[in-house]
Amino acid sequence: MSAAARAGARAIARRRSVARTLPVVALGVAGLFALSGCAANAGDTSGGGHDGHSTAETEAPANAGTAADVMFAQMMIPHHEQALEMSGIVLAKDGLAPEVAALAEEIQAAQGPEIAQLEAWLEEWDAPREMPGGGHGMSGMLSADELAALEAADAAAASQLFLEQMIEHHEGAVEMAEEQLASGSHEGAIEMAEAIIAAQNTEIERMRALLEG
């Protein structure tokens, strides 16, 4: 074979070698892109959320108070506070009937801790302690004149007046608690509403019996 023929054969062989190598290189480059894509996906833990934030991060806390829960707490606090005031007035009377004194002490023992719990919930919910406008017109609340009459009465008259006023006051609390059961969603506030309904309905029956007796 002549020198020119040998040179031509070697050139053909080189071209064939390059042709066989190109697909392998292309496959390798494609593989690198695929691996890069997998790595990027592995680093994305957003779960489909926008801007790298998961959907769960934007959800409200499960135990947050709704508007109905907040209103229940804001209304029940001053309502309970007036019950404590009424009980304190009557307990200061000399010669108060023991049954009335016992009832007033039970009201103080029950409603004081409930006020503290309601205040804690409002703080947890980042809600103000008082309703806008002061929550005037709540059912069962005594006027300033009615409180003054209770304070001015002697023990015998105060006992009867206290029972009559507290029955109406309790009925207002029961009404608010029933509204909480119908509209609220906070588990603790619902449990308190149920306890208020049970306890104060029982006390209403006791007070009516004392008045009749």
- 194/60: higher pLDDT: 194
pLDDT band at 63 (very low <50, low <70, confident <90, very high): low
To which residue do tokens 């959907």 refer? 55
Q: DSSP labels for 14-33?
A: HHHHHHHHHHHHHHHHHHHH
pLDDT for 15 equals 47
pLDDT band at 122 (very low <50, low <70, confident <90, very high): very high
Residue 57 has pLDDT above 70, yes or no: no
- Whole-model pTM? 0.70
- What does the alpha-carbon distance between residue 67 and residue 194 come to, in Å, rounded to a whole number? 19
Q: What percent of the chain has pLDDT over 70?
A: 68
pLDDT for 134 equals 59
- 89, 151 contact by CB (below 8 A): yes
Hey, how many other C-beta atoms are within 10 angstroms of the C-beta on 46? 13
pLDDT for 64 equals 72
What is the mean predicted confidence (pLDDT) over 173-196? 97
Pick the CATH number of 67-212 from 1.20.1260.10, 3.40.718.10, 3.30.565.10, 1.10.3720.10: 1.20.1260.10
Structure tokens at 101: 């004194």
- What does the alpha-carbon distance between residue 179 and residue 63 come to, in Å, rounded to a whole number? 19
DSSP state of 75: H
Which parts of 44-97 fold into alpha helices (H)? 67-91
What is the mean predicted confidence (pLDDT) over 193-207? 98
Residue 33 has pLDDT above 60, yes or no: no
> Which of 10-14, 93-97, 157-161, 179-183 has the least mean pLDDT?
10-14
Structure tokens at 108: 């103080």
Residue 48 has pLDDT above 70, yes or no: no
Closest by Cα among 94, 126, 117, 114 to 195: 114
- What does the alpha-carbon distance between residue 180 and residue 107 come to, in Å, rounded to a whole number? 21
- What does the alpha-carbon distance between residue 95 and residue 138 come to, in Å, rounded to a whole number? 32
Longest dimension (CA), the chain: 141
Q: What is the mean pLDDT of the chain?
A: 79
> Which of 4-18, 74-88, 165-179 has the least mean pLDDT?
4-18
